[in-house]
Amino acid sequence: MAYGFEAKNDSGKVIINDTIENLHFIGKATHDSQYTGYNDFPTYSGANDTLDGNTICYYTITCSGTPVPFIKPSDYSRWAAVIKQSVSGTTWTFHVMCSGEDTSNMPQIYCFVNADDIAIPSGETHGMIVFKADGSTKTFDSRRQPLAITGGGNALPPVDPTNSSGLPGVTNNAAWQSSTLDHDFRSGNQYTAYSDSNINTSNTMFSCPSIAQAVYSRVINGYKSSNIPWYRGGGTQEHWSTAWWWVMYRSAFRIRSGYFDAGWNVYQAGYWYDEHYESGGWFGGGSGGYTAGNRPYDNKTINRQTNAYIIANSSRYD
């Protein structure tokens, strides 16, 4: 005869059984520090210079298990995502990226682990514990604040992270020294919305692991050819210029009342400019040029795939 335990909700979904280990609340991660940046293109000043900006926050928590972080926004209008999670000994560090550069309303990070990774709360003598078939591994312990999931689904950001229509491209044979950006690299309008009636903007927190990222560039190649007078040697002198704007994005998420949005936020950005020209003939001086800035890898979106998101009520754990 088989033994075990299983509990289902009104929708017939399993919420507790003796096979799957439930997550339990271990505490809120400590907000240690943050840095801000990329509200515009470094070294560039001109049209479409404005970017969304970001704030990278560092949080830590100590536990023996592997924590699953939930983001509880303080400002629900901002995009947010965990972009890195690492451990040293039993100290876990989370890097959380938020859109904008306001450091006064950073999110809270609620952490959940398996029941065996949490010490028994003092004074808790009653409750229900469910074990696996081995008789020792806990899948559920009512004394340890189990995670109560209120909703969820699958989310996928759009391919194009930029606000302008279509991806930025390359223009050749523009005027020499052309360096005016004509593409909006902000990303606040580019997202996929998922309807979820369980979401609100007061106590909803979410977990959605994603490592999707993208890099896109706008390139303007300029050129001109100048005639050299006969008394300076004759012929032509050619001039080339390249203006190159690039932005690296990371996937990010936002909660609106009744919606979970999957989109993007700027992670890094740069501007690269180069101009050079040939020698000007016998008496026209030598060749020369100017260059500044750098760029990352080639244009592409990587690791873009559907990710599961989970939402829960943060007030249960305050």
Range of lowest pLDDT (155-169, 220-234, 247-261):
220-234
**Which pTM value belongs to this model?**
0.87
Percent share of the chain, pLDDT over 70: 88
Q: What is the DSSP string of 261-295?
A: EEEEEEEEEEEEEEEEE----SSS---EEEEE---
Sheet arrangement for strand 307-313: 23-28, 108-114, 68-72, 204-207, 307-313, 149-155
* Report for 103-112, 121-130, 141-150, 231-240: range of highest mean pLDDT: 103-112
pLDDT at 122: 73
For the chain, the structural domain boundaries read 21-152, 158-308
Q: Residue 234's closest CA among 307, 283, 162?
A: 283
The band of 1, judged by pLDDT with boundaries at 50, 70 and 90, is very low
HSE value, Cβ hemisphere, 13 Å, CA-based, for 124 = 12
CB 83 within 8 A of CB 250: yes
Q: HEC profile for 182-221?
A: CCCCCCCCCEEEEECCCCCCCCEEEECCCCCEEEEEEEEE
CB 157 within 8 A of CB 262: yes
Whether 54 has a pLDDT exceeding 50, the answer reads yes
Whether 284 has a pLDDT exceeding 50, the answer reads no
Tell me the pLDDT tens digit for each residue of 124-166.
778 888 887 787 788 888 888 899 999 999 999 999 999 999 9
Give the dihedral sign, CA 137/208/303/86. Answer: negative
The band of 230, judged by pLDDT with boundaries at 50, 70 and 90, is low
pLDDT at 189: 94
